[in-house]
Amino acid sequence: MVSPASMPSALTFELIARCSTTRARAANLTLPHGLVQLPLFMPVATQASLKGLTPQQLEETGCRLCLNNTYHLGLKPGQEVLEKIGGAHKLQGWKHNILTDSGGFQMVSLLKLANITEEGVRFLSPHDGTPMLLTPEHSIALQNTIGSDIIMQLDDVLVTTSPDTKRMREAMERSVRWLDRCIAAHANPTTQNLFCIIQGGLDLEMRKECCKEMVARNTPGIAIGGLSGGEAKADYCRVVNACTSLLPELKPRYVMGIGYPEDLVVSVALGADMFDCVWPTRTARFGNAITKHGMLNLRHARYANDFGPLEEGCGCICCRTGEGSLGVTRAFVHHVAAKETVGAHLVTIHNVWYQLALMRSVRQSIIEDRFPKFLKQFFSDLHAGDKTKYPEWAVEALLTVGVDLMED
């Protein structure tokens, strides 16, 4: 057991504003590679590249903190290469912040043959089928080499919908033990911030227990994990609600794997600050553009003669008008979608911009203390003002923090 005082931190967290109705917060988070403004969405550059975008194009979307996946970087280019190059920032020419996951999630999501023991995760190499082992120590050593600004503990991830409460408890308790091993193995606590990951499935008591144990470890930031695995949205909201109410005010709270716009705004209302998801960039490659009125599948024939921007009023380089505008139309994206990679790149730029711009306007509304009004406008835009189409879970979750979407 590590005493709380011994855990250094490489970040400063400054609370800027609090919503007077919901639990939403606006904060400034200063990391080793600069300031990021919370609440925040982090796009995922899995293999040290955000799907086809140059680091400069990513920077132009306003992104100052993106994800890399430890598991993927561990396979390619591998730890030895990363060590020689001097870490992931130097590898990809990225001047801003990077967060890496622990690699544990990919073991579960990509590999059906993963086997978890107290020692770590055993799995077969996807390259040649040779058995491999990932321990908390390996994960942290690898993330230390990667040099990411935020590193994640290795956790024992279980789908939240698992009915096996005994296994769920084992996973939660093991995650706490692995956190201690991660803290002990962490070589660069003054330059890299280790975040713990709250586990416990959908069992609120177990989540609370985990919060208590992990908060006591005093990591610079706290993540809520194991979600976004197919659980009911109402259950998801209950878990986030339960956790954020137990977490310290002055630490960043990161909910892993969340990226749908409606999930983001509701989670912010429930008191979460940071999110990541591959969905916006993945769906872009299928020709889907995110807009405030919902998603457009640009491969559909109805867009073949649509010479408007992807989204009217959007500020991304594809859509913006005036000086330096590219004049990319829905018709052009339709013309190249799924045929030339340029189509994917353009929609990726737009979608990342959309997600970041959404969070910027959420932040602004919190600072100006008009977030409840923002939420109402957001859902009204998304469902063309038709309240019968509002998702029930969102209405209920927002009621718990004092916002009634149904009232006018």
Partner 1 sequence: MASENGGRLAFEVLTQVDHSVIAPRLGRLSVPGRKDLETPNFFAITSRGAAPHMTPDVISSRTQFGGVHMALEDFVDKAGKGGTPPIMNVPNSSPLHTFTALPKRISTLLAPRRTPAVTAPVGNSNTAVSIFTSTGFQAISNKNYINYISAMHPDIAIGLGDVPYGSVPGSKRVEKMGDRTEKWLSELLNEKSEEQAVFAPILPIDFLSQSEYINYIADEAANSVSGLAFYDSNILPDIPATTAVAKLPRLTLDEPSSPAQILRQISLGMDIFTIPFIGFATDAGIALTFRFPKPLPPGSEGEQKEEMSSGTSLSPLGIDMWTSSHATTLSPLSLGCECYTCTSHHLAYIQHLLSAKEMLGWTLIQIHNHYIMSEFFAAIRSSIRKGAFEEDVRVFERVYESELPEKSGSGLRVRGYHYKSEGPGEPKKNRSAWGNLGPNEGKVEALIPIRTQRD
Structure token pair of residue 79: 């730890």
Structure token pair of residue 95: 């001047």
Give the number of residues in contact with partner 1, rule: CB under 8 A.
Answer: 62
Would you say 105 is a known binding-site residue? yes
Could you tell me which residues are beta bridge partners of residue 372? none
**Rounded least distance, CB 122 to partner 1, Å:** 7
Q: Given candidates 30, 35, 52, 360, which one binds partner 1 under the rule CB under 8 A?
A: 52
Is 74 an interacting residue with respect to partner 1 (CB under 8 A)?
Answer: yes
**Measured distance CA(57)–CA(8) in Å, rounded:** 34
Is 2 an interacting residue with respect to partner 1 (CB under 8 A)?
Answer: no
Of residues 332 through 351, those in contact with partner 1 by CB under 8 A are: 332, 334-336, 339-346, 349
Angle of the 261-269 helix axis to the 371-382 helix axis, nearest 10 = 160
**Measured distance CA(22)–CA(367) in Å, rounded:** 13
Is 190 an interacting residue with respect to partner 1 (CB under 8 A)?
Answer: no
Which residue lies nearer to partner 1 by CB, 48 or 65?
A: 48
* Catalytic residue numbers, as ranges: 101, 276
**Rounded least distance, CB 207 to partner 1, Å:** 30
Of residues 114 through 133, those in contact with partner 1 by CB under 8 A are: 122, 124-125, 128-133
- Which phi and psi angles does 107 have, rounded to 5°? -55, -40
Helices and strands in the chain, H and E counts: 15, 16
3-state SS assignment for residue 90:
helix
**Rounded least distance, CB 233 to partner 1, Å:** 32
**Measured distance CA(24)–CA(143) in Å, rounded:** 30
Q: Given candidates 51, 64, 207, 363, which one binds partner 1 under the rule CB under 8 A?
A: 51
Is 89 an interacting residue with respect to partner 1 (CB under 8 A)?
Answer: no
Angle of the 204-215 helix axis to the 233-246 helix axis, nearest 10 = 30
Q: How many residues does the chain have?
A: 408
- Which phi and psi angles does 13 have, rounded to 5°? -120, 120
Would you say 196 is a known binding-site residue? no
Would you say 287 is a known binding-site residue? no
Task: Detail the residues annotated as belonging to a binding site for substrate.
Answer: 101-105, 155, 199, 226
Contacts with partner 1 by CB under 8 A lie at 47-57, 72, 74, 76-77, 79, 81, 84-85, 90-93, 103, 113, 122, 124-125, 128-135, 137-138, 141-142, 304-305, 307, 317, 326-329, 331-332, 334-336, 339-346, 349
